[in-house]
Each structure stands twice: as structure tokens, then as C-alpha cells.
């Protein structure tokens, strides 16, 4: 999800993931980034590093954005900067492109605003007493301007050439020295887009195709799990089954595939394959399974069999996410022997299972069977 509008007052105390994502700091950085107290608060531990958030969408051309900041714990000359940045536009001598409220001991500048550009870092001095304010970053054509609000008026910190490349917008707190002290914290609030066109990133969806195949004999077959991105198979894994797969069906959460598999030499069985790693996590010996159907409520597996039975397996979830995989002993539906069950369908809401057997030709009789939630005995009523 991506929002093509970025205006956020951070008042709901939960970072809006359609607008923002959390920046990934360099390894070893100690930090907290939290939308709390109806604002975004960022705290850094000691040493070099930075943390904050970045927009999901990008500005494709001109833009004008602004944000309020408050310096929550801000000792003099603490070697940190609060930044309204454009992280996809590179860096200059003043660091990543953006408008900063900085505090450094070097150069005698102390407390200052700095616009970091690729070829320069114009600065405007301020004072330690100035612990809150506003930052504004404006790109117009190939020119970037940085402003801060002094009194009720926007004051230009600087301007200069900039790339027209699309860019996300970041709000972050960074330390520019390996000896920077820890515990520095700042808050952002009332981010606003005054102008600009946002473009959401193109998302890539992985598709997972699981196929079962027989090898032409009675005792072997395979399952192939292909990961597909667009028109390319990016990963492929084949699992030998040691039996002939007849049918498969998937749980609603896509976590497991249940496979009906037969083998005179190795035994007939139902296999539960975990799709995350293609591991067979469960095998149940069951005679001549021919068709499997996961009940739409994801709690039962119906197994059609070559002996005319339909066995019900409890596949409801355990607390750890695994499945129970227990045969419900009194829930076997018994049709006439000799009816090989070739297909099953569930009538939603009606608790009725449609059973399609294949008896001796020339005719097929489909059966409608009630499928209650609990029962005491196996029983079939003929009509």
C-alpha cells in the first residue's frame, strides 16, 4: 500500500505504513523511532549514525514540503542534525541532501541551519535557545531551496543546483561524529506537502506455482515448487514423493499443501507439505486417496478414496500455527464399495459435500452428503 498524499500530523500514535517506512540505520546504531505523544520522536545512542522515517512514495518533479521540529534533548554542540531530507538525491559536503537544524562545535558555528546540496552547504546561524521551529524544502526545476521559519516568516537558508531525479522525503536525526554523545532526541510534527506530484513505487508480486507430477510408474512422483516473478522463474525446488500424486489442495492461508498419494510399494498416504520450505511435515496412511479438498472454513480436509469412502481430517490450527492433522474417526462417509471418488465439492453455507464417484461405466451417480460439525456415528441415508 502506498499513499499518493503525504500530510501527517502524527496524532494517532501509529506510524502510517502507507505513507512512511522506518529508515534502516547502519549496523550497531542504537536508536528509537516512535510515533508517540502525537508526534514522531527519534532518539539516538552514542556514536555515528542516524535514524528516522522515509516516505514510501517519491516526488517525481517539483515539490514543496515542510515539517515542524522540536529538540527534546539537545545539549550544546552535540554533533547532531535534525533533517528534512531528500535521500534519493545523493549527498554533498554537508551530508545527505536536505535542510538541517544542526549542532556542532567545529568552525565556531555552534547552532545553525544548513542546506546540504551536492556542491555546497549554505548555513544560517541560530541559537541554543531556538529549540523548535519549522523546516521547508523546495525543489523547483533544477534548484533546491531550504528555508526555516524565523518569527512568522520563512527565511531562506540557501539554494543551489539539484538533480531532477525522483526522490522520497525523509525525517531523521543523525550524528556526524563517532564521538557524538548519546541520548540526543528530537521530534517531528505536522508534515505537510504544499505542492508536488507523488508517485507510488511499483510493487513486485511473487507467485508460487506448486505442481505435482507422476513419473509413469506406480511408486514415484514429484512435487515442483516454482517461485515466479513476472515471467521468470526465480527459484525452483523439486521434492521426490515416493508415491504417485493424485490430487492436491491448499489451506486458505497458503501455508500447507495436502497431497493425495498412492504407492503399492511404499503405501498410500496423505502428505502435508509446508509451502515455506517444501518440507513434508505430516504423513497419514490412508487407503487409495484419490482427491483432497480443504473445506472453505480451513478446518477440515476431505479425502476421497478409491474404495468409495470420504474420510474427514481435522486440520484446524493449533496455537503455534501448525495443523492438528487428526482423522475424525466417526466422520467417514461411506458410499457403495467400488465407487472411486474422483472429485469433491463443498456447498458453502449448507454443510453439504458433493461427492463425485466413478463407478463402472456407463453412468455416474453424484452424491450429496450432509457434512455436520460433529457426529456420533458413521451413517449414510439413501434416498
Partner 1 sequence: MVGNLPALIASHQSFNGVAAVGLSPDSTKTYVFLNAPAYDLDASGNVLLAGNVHIMNTATLSVLSTLNCSPNPITAALLVKKRYFYVTQSDGTLCTVDTTTDLVVNSSAPGGFLAAEDIAGKRLFIADQQDNVVETVTLGKTGPTSDQQGVSFGGLPANSTVVGLSVFSK
Q: Total binding residues for partner 1 by CB under 8 A? A: 68
Q: What is the DSSP letter of 183?
A: -
Verify cis geometry, omega within 30 degrees of 0, for the bond prior to 362. Answer: yes
SS3 216: coil
178 by DSSP, 3-state: which? Answer: coil
Check binding of 293 to partner 1 (CB under 8 A).
Answer: no
4 vs 381: CA distance, rounded Å: 60
* Interface pick for partner 1 out of 143, 238, 279, 316 (rule CB under 8 A): 238
Phi, psi of 230 (to 5 degrees): 65, -120
Asked if residue 155 binds partner 1 (CB under 8 A), the reply is: no
- Give burial (CB, 10 Å; 0-12/13-18/19+) of 341: buried
Q: Any contact of residue 372 with partner 1 (CB under 8 A)?
A: yes
154 vs 238: CA distance, rounded Å = 64
Q: Which of 178, 236, 279, 297 binds partner 1 (CB under 8 A)?
A: 236
Question: Which residues within the stretch 246-265 sit at the binding site for partner 1 (CB under 8 A)?
Answer: 246-250, 254, 257, 259
**Of these, 151, 321, 329, 362, which contacts partner 1 (CB under 8 A)?**
362
Residue linked to cell 483432497: 292
Provide, rounded to whole angstroms, the least separation between the CB of residue 381 and partner 1. 4
Q: Which residues in the 181-220 window bind partner 1 by CB under 8 A?
A: 205-216
Grid cell locating 123: 548555513
Query: In the complex, what is the shortest distance from the CB of residue 316 to partner 1, in angstroms, rounded to a whole number?
Result: 18
C-beta of 188 vs 258, nearer to partner 1 = 258
Q: What's the grid cell of residue 143?
A: 534548484
* Integer angstrom CA distances of residue 23 from 7, 39, 257, 330: 19, 17, 37, 55
CB of 288 to partner 1, least distance (A): 16
What are 85's three cell numbers? 531530507
The length of the chain in residues reads 383
State how far the Cα of 81 lies from the Cα of 334, in Å rounded to an integer: 75
Q: Please tell me the distance from the alpha carbon of residue 135 to that of residue 149, in angstroms, as a whole number.
A: 7
Looking at beta carbons only, is 161 or 338 nearer to partner 1?
Answer: 338
* Least distance (Å) between residue 198 CB and partner 1: 25
Annotate each residue in 311-350 with x if it binds partner 1 (CB under 8 A) or - if it does not, as one string. --------------------xxx-x------xx-x-xxxx
CA 25 to CA 343: how far, in whole Å?
A: 54
The residues in 59-88 that bind partner 1, with binding defined as CB under 8 A, are none
Q: Shortest Cβ distance from residue 294 to partner 1 (Å)?
A: 10
Q: Can you tell me which of 1, 108, 231, 319 binds partner 1, judged by CB under 8 A? A: 231
Binding residues for partner 1, per CB under 8 A? 205-216, 221-222, 224, 226, 228, 231, 233, 236, 238, 245-250, 254, 257, 259, 331-333, 335, 342-343, 345, 347-350, 352, 354, 356, 358, 361-383
Amino acid at each position: 500500500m502506498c499513499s499518493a498524499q503525504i500530510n501527517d500530523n502524527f496524532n494517532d500514535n501509529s506510524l502510517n505504513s502507507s505513507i512512511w517506512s522506518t529508515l534502516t540505520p547502519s549496523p550497531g546504531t542504537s536508536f528509537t523511532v516512535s510515533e508517540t505523544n502525537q508526534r514522531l520522536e527519534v532518539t539516538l545512542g552514542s556514536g555515528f549514525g542516524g535514524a528516522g522515517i522515509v516516505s514510501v512514495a517519491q516526488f517525481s518533479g517539483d515539490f514543496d514540503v515542510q515539517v515542524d521540529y522540536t529538540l527534546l534533548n539537545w545539549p550544546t554542540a552535540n554533533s547532531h542534525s535534525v533533517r528534512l531530507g531528500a535521500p534519493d538525491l545523493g549527498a554533498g559536503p554537508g551530508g545527505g541532501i536536505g535542510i538541517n537544524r544542526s549542532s556542532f562545535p567545529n568552525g565556531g558555528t555552534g547552532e545553525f541551519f544548513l542546506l546540504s546540496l551536492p556542491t555546497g552547504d549554505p548555513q544560517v546561524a541560530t541559537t541554543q535557545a531556538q529549540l523548535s521551529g519549522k523546516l521547508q524544502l523546495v525543489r523547483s526545476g533544477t534548484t533546491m531551496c531550504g528555508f526555516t521559519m524565523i518569527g512568522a516568516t520563512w527565511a531562506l537558508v540557501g539554494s543551489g543546483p539539484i538533480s531532477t531525479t525522483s526522490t522520497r522525503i525523509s525525517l531523521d536525526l543523525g550524528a556526524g561524529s563517532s564521538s557524538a554523545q548519546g541520548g540526543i532526541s528530537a521530534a517531528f510534527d505536522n508534515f505537510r506537502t504544499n505542492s508536488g506530484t507523488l508517485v507510488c513505487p511499483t510493487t513486485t508480486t511473487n507467485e508460487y506455482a506448486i505442481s505435482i507430477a507422476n513419473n509413469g510408474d506406480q511408486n514415484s512422483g514429484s512435487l515442483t515448487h516454482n517461485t515466479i516473478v513476472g515471467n521468470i522463474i526465480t527459484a525452483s525446488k523439486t521434492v521426490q514423493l515416493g508415491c504417485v500424486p493424485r490430487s492436491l489442495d491448499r489451506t486458505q492461508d497458503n501455508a500447507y499443501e495436502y497431497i493425495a498419494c498412492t504407492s503399492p510399494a511404499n503405501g498410500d498416504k496423505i502428505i502435508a507439505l509446508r509451502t515455506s520450505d517444501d518440507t513434508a511435515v505430516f504423513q497419514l496412511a490412508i487407503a487409495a486417496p484419490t482427491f483432497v479438498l480443504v473445506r472453505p472454513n480451513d478446518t477440515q480436509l476431505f479425502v476421497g478414496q478409491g474404495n468409495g469412502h470420504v474420510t474427514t481430517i481435522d486440520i484446524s490450527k493449533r496455537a503455534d500455527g501448525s495443523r492438528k492433522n487428526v482423522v475424525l474417526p466417526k466422520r467417514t462417509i461411506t458410499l457403495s464399495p467400488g465407487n472411486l471418488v474422483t472429485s469433491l465439492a463443498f456447498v458453502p453455507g449448507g454443510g453439504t459435500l458433493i461427492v463425485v464417484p466413478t463407478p463402472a461405466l456407463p453412468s455416474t451417480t453424484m452424491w450429496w452428503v450432509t457434512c455436520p460439525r460433529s457426529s456420533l456415528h458413521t451413517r449414510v441415508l439413501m434416498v
